[in-house]
Amino acid sequence: MNKFFSTGVLVAVAALAVSACSSSEPGPDGTSASGDPIVIGAQAPLLGATAYPQSGYGLEAAEYYVNEVLGGIGGRPIDIDVCSGDGSPETSITCANGFVSKQVPLVIDAIDQSMGAGVPILAAAQIPIIGTLAGSFVADQAEYGQAFFFTGPVAFGSLSTLSLLNMMGKKSASLAVNESPTSHAYVDDLILPIAENLDIDVKVQYPPAAGANLNVVAATQIADNPDVAGVISLPEDACTGLFQALRRQGFDGTILTASCAEFIDQLGSDSAGAIMQPRLWVPRASELAPESVQEELSAFEESMNAVGYGAEISSRSLYAFASVANIANILNAAENSNVTAESVTETFKKVANFESFAGPSVTCDGNQWPEIATACNGQAIFFEVQESGDLAPVNEEGYIDLDVSLLPSS
């Protein structure tokens, strides 16, 4: 496992029968991966005030899954150079130049908000960016073939949040997201226009990434007695702290926790009734998931335990892991053993009706989202926390279609 700048981790996963996903035996043909490793790049937000170390844990678990369980890609092991993003464009540029010099065939975007600064460099080198979802608008809006994301674009999160509130009959919400230029653009360009289209009154707070007084944030949120309080996007510990502060201050309405999940372990039955909107099926919802998804989630948990991160299972670690699994499944299905940037790009352009890891069916034809060619799907899934700590899908069928006509025209 190579270390590139800071934290090292691996990525990609060989896909074969779903039954292999939950097996503890080496490789689908009984052999472990061998030969020269396929070196893959990944940029993950592992440093700085808005770090998500869970992304690194998921990538490391995926390395184990690929090389020790699935037998690699085309029988070869994979090795990921992980560049640790710190939120700065300078670091992202350094990461991208490093990937180009190493001639990696693809780069995983592990939801790093600063990834955008490196996109032009990778595009010029024709190295595709691949992930569960983009970390920045710039990656989202890359030209067709420059990036592929298995779930909807950045705009997807805003539309799914407001669609959920509308579906639940909520007419007011007060939500928090860390202070950053990207956050303000997301709220001003997407959240507020969509809310206006749905006649939902939304107020937003922008606490700093470090040292936020969550009691003050909670008091601000509940001052106007909204139907819903909570999170657009915050780190796991801030999600938990805000949830606790809201309940301490007497808010008994619906709390939206976005893709946060660790608060359930810490708060137990007190977390019941919270609404989550991850991009994928998650382990706490496994019992109500399709059988194939149950097997995939079991493989994810087993792999996290195998590398010592069983206590760090979260949406972020799952997203990183799923990115790897999907890449390997797709490349193996195409029998693509000569893994180059060009062959990866051409293979992904042909992906159609592919059942993604713990996620929706994806088609990477550039037509799955208005004016965003990088999105391979545009469906959403929502969960409600139960007294037991398990999650139940808000919609019995799981994934639902979103009304993209609600998006702002520009």
Write out pLDDT tens, residues 211-237.
Answer: 899 999 999 999 999 999 999 988 889
The answer, yes or no, to whether residue 19 has pLDDT greater than 70, is no
pLDDT in tens, 125-151: 999 999 999 988 899 999 999 999 999
Contact 182, 277 (CB under 8 A): no
For each of the domains in the chain, give its residue range(s) and CATH number, in order of start. Answer: 37-151+290-377 (3.40.50.2300), 155-276 (3.40.50.2300)
* pLDDT, tens digit (0-9, with 9 covering 90-100), for 66-82: 888 888 998 899 998 99
Tens digit of each residue's pLDDT (9 = 90 or more) over 253-274:
999 998 888 899 888 888 999 9
pLDDT of residue 201: 97
For residue 31, the model assigns a pLDDT of: 59
- Confidence (pLDDT) at 16: 27
Band of pLDDT at residue 113, cut at 50, 70 and 90: confident
Give dist(CA 181, CA 234) in Å, integer.
Answer: 15
* pLDDT of 30 strictly over 90: no
pLDDT band at 24, cuts 50/70/90?
very low
